[in-house]
Amino acid sequence: MQSTAFIENEKNKQELQEELDALEIQVFRMQENVKEIAKKAYIVSIDQTKEANWVIVYANRKANTIQLMLHECTKPFRGNWDSAIEAEYKSETTIHISDIKGEQNKGFGSVLMKHLKEIAHQENKHYITGDIVKRDFDHVERLKHFYTKHYFDISMDHNEQSGKIVWSPC
């Protein structure tokens, strides 16, 4: 009869092999995806989500707007992002978030927010702002949690179903 330690060790080896195989597939896809994404957008970074999946962060800029997008490398890139932050340059000192879209609870928004803050820092912007509007109130608690986690000041008017967010690195 096999010992419990032997069975657990074999299981651990199998789990490690599965993780290694998944990582190898992600790295292969990452190489292919970067080639495709770079044809259409500026590659900002390669990063990992809270689930340790590799993602490509890329951007499109137009006049006074920026769209930061993210594609998870667990699948081939087919021209669509998994998550995006759309923002507008409001002034010499401020980037204003227009919208955050995409899959929820995968850490995509946090990865994108980290990179938006890095861009603000690189471009010497002193604030990232945004509005919480009526259509957001069906998930306002999740938004408050997200922005608090990312060190935004939040002011809410629950009667008017509106709010403002402000982040400053200072």
Dmax (CA) for the chain in angstroms is 72
* Other Cβ atoms within 10 Å of 26 Cβ, number: 20
* Other Cβ atoms within 10 Å of 109 Cβ, number: 23
Which strands, in side-by-side order, build the sheet including 83-89? Answer: 42-48, 54-62, 65-72, 83-89, 94-102, 127-132, 162-167, 153-157
List the pLDDT tens digit at each of the 170 positions of the chain: 556 655 566 668 888 888 887 778 878 888 898 999 999 999 999 999 988 899 999 999 998 999 999 999 999 999 999 999 999 999 999 999 999 999 889 999 999 999 999 999 999 999 999 999 999 899 999 999 999 999 999 999 999 999 999 999 86
* Other Cβ atoms within 10 Å of 86 Cβ, number: 16
Cβ 111 vs Cβ 103: under 8 Å = no
Please tell me the pTM assigned to this model.
Answer: 0.85
Query: Where along the chain do its domains lie?
Result: 4-125
Q: Is the dihedral of CA 157, 134, 106, 45 positive or negative?
A: negative
Question: Tell me, what's the pLDDT at 93?
Answer: 96
Rounded-to-integer distance, Cα 82 and Cα 110, Å: 13
